[in-house]
Chain A
Amino acid sequence: MTRFSILDANPIVRLTVNLREEHQPMSRNVANFTDLASKTALAWIIAAMLVIVPAGISAAIAEELAGLATLPGADDPAARGLAIARETEGRDVGFGNTSANMKMILTNAYGETSERELRNLVLEITEENEGDWSLIVFDKPRDVDGTALLSYAHILDPDDQWLYLPAVKRVKRISSVNKSGPFMGSEFAFEDFSSTEVGKYSYNWLRDEACGDRICHVTERTPLYEHSGYTRQLSWTDTTDYQPRKLEFYDRKDQLLKTLTFTEYQLYQDKHWRAHDLFMENHQTGKNTRLVWSDFVFQAGLTESDFTTNALKRAR
């Protein structure tokens, strides 16, 4: 009987995780190990290091190994799904603040394209049960140049959002109850954009399977936000780096609506993965939207004062 073999069969993996937990307390999946298992695994590590260090690639391999977490078994798919989501979130803890540029390429069913460009600032909020703060400034199309959106994300409540309209210099508090509407006319909904917080969904692990040349955990997640536009989503999460590779969105009638593929991952600060190409395909309308991220800056020196309505007015 093959189970999700890689994780359960390999003691190196287990111990690496254990060691990692000691050094990175933000990780949430601390497994229990017997002394014997630890010692065995430690021996494995030492042996492995002896082989690897002379090769001069120890760092890379250690990182690869550190990328593997211990998860609850298949007999508890809810716990396993939750643990996968927590692992994904835990790996991005401590990013602090980022700035990045984004280009959106919208393609309609006739193949005609239009583009948007924006800059995105994010401030990590470490408080439990609160989402991150973000400031989005639009550059293109030019008629919305300077329009900016400030969001304080919440987990299950509507976000706090202010929109700045530069032509009239007006800051408007806007209703954000509806997160399922299109973002800038694209195939991304507001809720697809907002920070992925573990508490936004309930989880059910389905299987592990190949995804391209990788192996992914396939998890079904159900939005807990009552006004979500989706009944459920299927996520493919890489078993090594715990980054999403694919997401399927099912609409309120439980029909497959959209598929999002994440590619062009880059690692920042030896810890934070960011996909630079997100391709969203709408299966019902034939439209698609590609997001291309660039110029990621981590620890961009942003503070809470960069996420105020005053900052919104001068964000250019």
Chain B
Amino acid sequence: MKKFQATCIASALACGFGFASTAPLTAADFEVTGLVEPELQVFPNRGNVAGQKRFNSSIALEVTAEAFWDNGDQFVVFKPFARLDQNDGNRTHADIRELKYAYVTGDWEFRVGIDKVFWGVTEVAHLVDIINQTDSVESLDGEEKLGQPMISVSTVQDFGVFDFYLLPYFRERTFPSMGGRPSFDIPIDETQTMYGSNDKRQHLDFATRYSNTFEDWDVGVAYFQGTGRDPVLNPGLDTGGNLVLIPLYAQIKQASIDVQATKEAWLYKFEGFWRRELGEEYIQATGGIEYTFYQIFDSTADLGIVAEYIWDDRGATNANAFANDAVAGLRWTANDEASTALLLASVVDLDTQATSISLEAERRFGNDYFVSLEARFFENVQRTDPLFSFADDDFVQLRVARYF
């Protein structure tokens, strides 16, 4: 009895909410979960910027608190995140990934607060995914995002799913500091950040998306109007007269499409957008195939091959290195109880032959530990290449996540 009381005090909220449970769907009406993830990075090459170290350690914490009621038709999610980094002051940062209230009624869903939304189908470049800003100090793959304040409405109708978003506040992209790795060789001066709109961060952005499934085809069409998430990096001078890059967040209009056809073991993917930015119009697109060999060599393992192409009709810029690039990848999944998986991917710039290679390996240990090892190498990168800043920043990274 004493023990029960202690538990109940320790998780007073859980006890309070827990007994109200009648909904069959929700395992618990209030739940707190999370992970602590120490990380170790090794950079085999000496950095070409003063202050860059060979070794870096950091630790990340993410907590998810969720409360559901009304048969799961109403819920609140709070997901704070923080990282403490040994060498990179910008990487030591905290963010509210989610803090939202959602209300579902029939075919309609309303959300207000900070949330994350993903659009797209391809594996390497995520071109049409525009709602959230990239938390680029977290990962080079562009998949880590900052929480975005929004009011959103989504409805599922016979003729498809419609999503509407009002985005009242803008998040600036995170950049590594000069001591961080990988980082730009010319520092980014965020004190001089410029905006295309006088409203700056307060500009009210708008987005809408229609998506539907037509048998083997999944199709999405979207429109966005507001502050572009990708900054233009203009050279300038800081107060001390040193060369810096100054981010400019322009106003953009963007229409996009993403399509996937699922034909047995073959997946065909395409996504692309038309964008109007600073009086200029341009198109970016990516597409490719994924094929999976199942139960290779009489084992339980699957081997998937991924081939994609990425194109930007402006050519390579410092805002986007992927202008005429080819992606080749292999994904091996053991389908074992540890969920062991390996992903090998290479991206080759077909104009300059600059190549980036990444290898990711992951598996679970026990029930609560998940270990991921990542290595990235940059080869054959010319001085003129937008990737050149990263050329000396090959790294191997180990993360050990403890879930609770």
Max chain A CB contacts within 10 Å: which of B25, B116, B264, B366?
B25
Given contacts A99-B24, A180-B294, contact A185 B339 (CB under 8 A): yes
Task: Establish whether residues A173 and B102, one from each chain, have CB atoms under 8 Å apart when the complex forms.
Answer: no
Give bound CA distance, A106 to B364, whole Å: 14
Number of interface residues of B (CB under 8 A): 52
User: Known: A168-B143, A173-B218, A178-B295. Is A316-B26 also a contact (CB below 8 A)?
Assistant: yes
Given contacts A114-B337, A316-B66, contact A139 B27 (CB under 8 A): yes
Chain B, Cβ-Cβ closest to A98: B24
Contact A115 B367 (CB under 8 A): yes
A178–B27 contact, CB under 8 A?
no
Interface string of B102-125 (1 = CB under 8 A from A): 101011010000001110110000
Q: Does A309 contact B (CB under 8 A)?
A: yes
Most buried by A among B68, B109, B294, B302: B294
* Interface residue B318 (Cβ < 8 Å from any Cβ of A): no
Contact A169 B116 (CB under 8 A): yes
Pair B337/A186 contact, Cβ less than 8 Å: yes
From residue 123 to 166 of chain A, which have CB atoms closer than 8 A to chain B? 139-145, 158, 160
Find chain A residues with CB under 8 A from B66 CB.
316
Tell me which residues from 126 to 185 in chain B have a Cβ below 8 Å from any Cβ of chain A: 143, 154, 156, 161
Selected interface stretch from A25-33, A204-212, A240-248, A300-308: A300-308
Within 8 A of A (CB), among B257-272: 260, 262, 264-267
For residue B48, CB closer than 8 A to chain A, the reply is no
Would A309 and B33 count as touching, CB distance under 8 A? no
Contacts of B262 in A (CB 8 A): 173-175
If over half of A's interface residues share one DSSP class (helix, strand or loop), that class is named, otherwise mixed; here it is mixed
Q: Kindly identify which residue among B109, B120, B336, B367 contacts A140, using a CB–CB cutoff of 8 Å.
A: B367
The 8 Å CB contact of A314, one of B35, B75, B120, is B75
Whether B377 sits at the interface, judged by CB under 8 Å, is no
Are B104 and A314 neighbours in the complex by a CB distance under 8 Å? yes
Q: Which of the residues A142, A297, A308, A316 comes within 8 Å of B367, measured between beta carbons?
A: A142
- Among B26, B33, B71, B300, which residue has its beta carbon within 8 angstroms of that of A142? B33
CB-CB under 8 A from B143, the residues of chain A are 168
Q: Are A169 and B117 in contact (CB under 8 A)?
A: yes
Q: Out of A158, A181, A300, A308, which one reaches B264, CB within 8 Å?
A: A158
Expressed in whole angstroms, the Cα–Cα distance for A145 and B404 within the complex equals 11
A114 adjacent to B24 (CB under 8 Å): no
Known: A169-B118, A170-B118, A174-B262. Is A181-B218 also a contact (CB below 8 A)? no
Asked whether, in the complex, the Cβ of B75 is within 8 Å of the Cβ of A143, the reply is no
Task: Please indicate the chain B residues that have their CB under 8 angstroms from the CB of A170 in the complex.
Answer: 118, 120
Instruction: Check A178–B302 contact: CB distance below 8 A.
Output: yes
B-chain residues with CB within 8 Å of residue A182 when the two chains form the complex: 300, 335-336
State in angstroms the CA–CA spacing of A142 and B68 once bound together.
Answer: 19
Q: A residues within 8 A CB of B382? A: none
Residues 273-316 of A, flagged 1 when their CB comes within 8 A of B and 0 if not, give: 00000000000000000000001010011000100111000111
B192 within 8 A of A: no
Complex contact A143–B364 (CB within 8 A): yes
Distance A300 CA – B336 CA, assembled complex (angstroms): 33
Do A141 and B367 touch across chains, with their CB atoms under 8 A apart?
A: yes
Q: Are B338 and A185 in contact (CB under 8 A)?
A: yes
Complex CA–CA separation, A180 to B294 (angstroms): 9
For A181, give the chain B residue with the smallest CB separation: B335
Indicate if B370 sits at the interface (CB-CB under 8 A). Answer: yes
Q: Mark B344-369, 1 if CB is under 8 A from A, else 0.
A: 00000000000000000000101110
**Per-position 1/0 for A171-206, Cβ under 8 A of B:** 111110110111001100000000000000000000
* A141, B368: Cβ atoms closer than 8 Å: yes
A192 → chain B closest CB, angstroms: 14
Q: Does A119 contact B (CB under 8 A)?
A: yes
Q: Give A11-33 as 1s and 0s: 1 = Cβ < 8 Å from B's Cβ atoms.
A: 00000000000000000000000
Asked if A310 and B24 make an inter-chain contact with CB atoms under 8 angstroms apart, the answer reads no
Q: Does A108 contact B (CB under 8 A)?
A: yes
- Whether B101 is near chain A, meaning CB under 8 Å from some CB there, is no
Which of the residues B27, B295, B401 comes within 8 Å of A180, measured between beta carbons?
Answer: B295
Chain B residues engaging chain A, CB cutoff 8 angstroms: 24-27, 33, 35, 66, 68, 71-72, 75, 102, 104, 106-107, 109, 116-118, 120-121, 143, 154, 156, 161, 211, 213, 218, 260, 262, 264-267, 292, 294-295, 300, 302, 335-339, 364, 366-368, 370, 401, 403-404
Further pairs besides A117-B27, A168-B118: 9, Cβ < 8 Å: A141-B370, A160-B213, A169-B116, A169-B118, A175-B266, A178-B294, A182-B335, A300-B25, A308-B161
Q: Please name 13 pairs of A and B residues whose Cβ atoms are closer than 8 Å in the assembled complex, sorted by A.
A: A99-B25, A142-B368, A143-B364, A168-B118, A169-B118, A173-B121, A175-B262, A181-B302, A229-B295, A309-B211, A314-B72, A314-B104, A316-B26
Closest 3 CB pairs of A and B: A142-B403, A185-B337, A178-B294
